[in-house]
Amino acid sequence: MVAPNPGPYTGPGTNTWIVEAGPVVAVIDPGPDDEVHLAAINQRIGAATVGVVLVTHSHPDHLPLAARLAAAHHASVRRYPELGDEDVVRVGTLNVTALHTPGHSADHLCFWLAEDRALFTGDLILGRGSSMVTYPEGDVAAYLRSLDRVAELRPRLLFPGHWDPVEDAMAKIEEYRAHRLEREAQVLAEVRRGGGTAQELTRRVYGALDEQLLVAAEMTMRAHLRKLVDDAAVRSTGDGERETYDAPV
């Protein structure tokens, strides 16, 4: 089910997944605290019992409705860090494995149904476009490791936090990996062309963007710069607003 919160960062809205597991269901990512969405979820669940409410991460388009939905069904909310890497949640006939997959956010989990080779990807991988990995919360190095981690499972199907399910799972994971590395190469090339602050580099790479998009672009740039500095591919000097980046000689 799609929550009624469409927007530039949520696509058509947040996906709330209802997974049937015999007489009970698991609900993944209830979404924003919205009366209409809550009523729609309850209608869809009908007489079934909610065994558990799982949340991929604590962003406001995924988590807020979880507590109310769970309370109404006497179910528990399970999410990171209480639910850790490789913890298995048994619900009805299903075993759901939590995978800690940081990068988009530090508290991000994917949920793996090994028998179906199906992966609920939250905001690690979306059905369309690219995932936000932005400073200070996003971590590009962790994000790339998380993509490698889920690729190793060789999933067949992806059920993302936004947009449609993905049937060619491995191609989509590779697309996301390639996109992120392409971004990194673009940032590195710009720094090598000449140093500057994160804001200057952003304006050079993206040109004229409206103010809101430019802020998001700068936060993406900063996340990439942090990884490149950690990798010693880029050098940073100064701090705060005047922190500048250049290529080591």
Q: How far is the CB of 100 from Zn ion (least distance, A)?
A: 15
**Among residue numbers 114 through 153, which ones bind Zn ion (CB under 5 A)?**
123
Looking at the Cβ atoms of 5 and 197, the one nearer to Zn ion is 5
E strand or H helix that includes residue 180: helix 169-193
Measured between alpha carbons, how far is residue 106 from residues 63, 90, 139, 145, 204 in Å? 15, 24, 8, 13, 29
Q: How far is the CB of 153 from Zn ion (least distance, A)?
A: 21
Looking at the Cβ atoms of 110 and 191, the one nearer to Zn ion is 110
Looking at the Cβ atoms of 123 and 139, the one nearer to Zn ion is 123
Binding map of Zn ion across residues 71-110, x = CB under 5 A, - = no contact: ----------------------------------------
Q: How far is the CB of 7 from Zn ion (least distance, A)?
A: 12
Residues touching Zn ion, count (CB under 5 A): 2
Using CA atoms, how far apart are residues 35 and 65, in angstroms rounded to an integer?
Answer: 9
Looking at the Cβ atoms of 87 and 107, the one nearer to Zn ion is 107
Using CA atoms, how far apart are residues 221 and 242, in angstroms rounded to an integer?
Answer: 15
Minimal CB distance to Zn ion: which residue?
Answer: 59
Q: How far is the CB of 165 from Zn ion (least distance, A)?
A: 18
Using CA atoms, how far apart are residues 222 and 191, in angstroms rounded to an integer?
Answer: 12
Looking at the Cβ atoms of 73 and 100, the one nearer to Zn ion is 100
**Among 27, 31, 51, 59, contact with Zn ion (rule: CB under 5 A):** 59
- Stretch of residues binding Zn ion (CB under 5 A), selected from 57-65, 73-81, 174-182, 224-232: 57-65
Token digits of residue 123: 């905001």
Q: Which of 144, 150, 140 is nearest to 119 (CA)?
A: 150
Sheet (strand 109-113) strand order = 88-91, 94-100, 109-113, 118-122, 157-160
**Among residue numbers 8 through 47, which ones bind Zn ion (CB under 5 A)?**
none
Q: Where are the beta strands (DSSP E) in the chain?
A: 17-21, 24-28, 49-54, 76-78, 88-91, 94-100, 109-113, 118-122, 157-160, 196-197, 235-237, 244-246
Contact between 120 and 56 under an 8 Å Cβ cutoff? The reply is yes
Looking at the Cβ atoms of 80 and 245, the one nearer to Zn ion is 80
Residue 234 has phi, psi (to 5 degrees) of: -130, 145
Looking at the Cβ atoms of 94 and 125, the one nearer to Zn ion is 125
Q: How far is the CB of 61 from Zn ion (least distance, A)?
A: 7
Cβ within 8 Å of residue 65, ≥6 positions away: 30, 31, 32, 33, 34, 37, 38, 41
Q: Is 162 in the site for Zn ion (CB under 5 A)?
A: no
Q: Which residues bind Zn ion (CB under 5 A)?
A: 59, 123
